[in-house]
Structure 1
Amino acid sequence: MEQQEDRFTDPAYRAAVIDLLGTLAYGELSAFIRLSTDADLAPTLAAKAAVAGLAATEYAHFDRLRARLVEIGADPEQAMAPFVEALDAFHERTKPSSWLEGLVKFYVGDGIASDFYREITAYVDPGTRDLVLGTLEADKRASYVLHEVRQAISEDPIKGSRLALWARRLVGEALSQGQRVAADRDSFSTLLSGTGELPGMGLAGIVSMFSRITEQHTKRMAEMGLSA
């Protein structure tokens, strides 16, 4: 544990981890707010309850990330602030017009973000890695969304084509957002590309990372019964 905390004496590393936890924390808080709103679009009380449960999980993740930021001496609001504009702009450009679009957005957006953060955890200390990976557990969330989307498509195949177009738009927006966040923050870029004694994946590795994220998205589309 002592060795793990020693890494935080490196200002560049500490700043990178604060950025990582800050962007993830705001993503979880945004997901909570978005899902709480999307629950109003749910067609049944059971569906409303299910989405409310998803929202509660997102808030619990946010709370854990906020606590860790405080623990390492960072102000959670300041840590999240640099990422508010980019994430809010993404959500503004991708407002769902229906219950199913909201579910697909949650599944696609959450999946891409999770893949991005999982890649980054290879370059952080064990405690930070465990915390981040713990907030990305999505088995129950994925199962619920897959069930609802597959059932809707089986009942009306035309919805599948429309949702596939919607998902393609989402992935383009999400990848652009991820690249923008990675490029705009020096500390985040350092964690990814590496510099000096701080290892990273390098520029070629970053390109490969986004390629892997795109491949994972294609697999998730297939799981939903949508063409990528």
Structure 2
Amino acid sequence: MVKWFWQRDKPKRTLMLRSRGDMGDATRVDFAELAPDLGRFLGQAAYLQLGYFETLTRLIRATPELDEKEALARAAGAALSKHRGIVEIIRAQGDDPTEIMRPFQEPLDAFRRKTIGVRPRETLLAVYITAGMLDDFYLALASSYGETGARVATILREDDDTDEIVSILRRTIESDGEWRSLLSMWARRMVGDTLLVARQALRTERLAADEKRVEPVYTELMGAHARRMDAMGLAA
């Protein structure tokens, strides 16, 4: 049986979100109290991956260079694979994936529209930043859902095939100082909107009184974001 490029075996991500003092059991339990119900968690996570896939496929059409098209296709395939994996978990729960995702279509599409830049490189950077931050956030949330959460975490840790995207962006940044300035500013715009999506995924009725419980996760999200920016030669 022939396997397409996104179906081939891939290495697993090793990123673990931890606070500076290591996120121990007590912190995870406290964070779990802010986690949404399982259906909301799965629906949001699945639709986010579908959104990454859609944006990346749009970028393929806007990219003339064949090697870059292939790199984008691999990243899009990785996002689609994650989407399908989470959808299978939803079905295993006895739910209809379409109905579970439907409540998040409008708000997450609105968020995704904010990531579409005037230039394809802006959009590409936005996908890389937002997908990285939100995958990390949902990995942190996954520990709240027992065995089902562990299955989602395994899916999210799969290789997202973005190494070549980083190379494309780095070459762009190194080619022109104006690109460096433009993409730095664009990346900073993305962070606030992305953190807002993460915040809205939590139990908002409890969040106002328990803001400190999620602070270690926000700290680690920003730390991982800074490392991704450094890898491209951009300041966070």
Instruction: Give the share of equivalent positions with the same residue, in percent.
Output: 27
Is the partner of 1:74 in helix, strand or coil?
Answer: coil
From 69, 82, 92, the counterpart of 1:71: 92
TM-score by length of 2: 0.77
Contact 2:125 2:187 in 1 (8 A): yes
Alignment of 1:155-194 (within 5 A): 155-183=175-203
Secondary structure of the corresponding residue to residue 87 of structure 1: helix
Structure 1 residue runs without a partner (length 5+): 1-11, 194-201
Q: Report the Cα offset of residue 139 of structure 1.
A: 5.4
Tell me the number of residue pairs that the alignment of Structure 1 and Structure 2 aligns: 201
Which 4+ stretches in 1 moved above 6 angstroms?
A: none
Structure 1, 19-28 or 208-217: larger mean CA deviation? 208-217
**Larger relative contact order (C-alpha < 8 A, sep ≥ 6)?**
2
Confirm or deny: 8 A CA contact 1:41 1:98 kept in the other structure.
no
- Secondary structure class of the residue paired with 1:43: coil
RMSD: 2.2
8 Å contact 1:43–1:99 — kept in the other structure? no
Counterpart Cα distance in 2 of 1:132 and 1:82? 22
Amino acid at match of 1:74: D
2:79 to 51, 58, 62: 58
1:86 to 107, 111, 127: 107
1:102 aligns with 2:110: no
Q: Which has the higher helix share?
A: 1
Q: Distance in 2 between matches of 1:121 and 1:48?
A: 32
Q: How does 1:24-43 map to 2 (within 5 A)?
A: 24-43=45-64
1:223 to 2:212 alignment: no
Match of 2:18 in 1: none
Give CA-to-partner distance per residue, 1:2-48, whole Å, 9 cap, x none.
Answer: xxxxxxxxxx9xx7222211111101111111111111221302211
Where structure 2 has 5 or more consecutive residues not aligned to the other structure, the ranges are: 1-32
Partner SS state of residue 97, structure 1: coil
Over residues 64-96 of structure 1, what are the superposed CA-to-partner deviations in whole Å (9 max), with x where a residue is unaligned? 111111111111112112222221111122212
- Worse-matched range after superposition: 105-114 or 87-96: 87-96
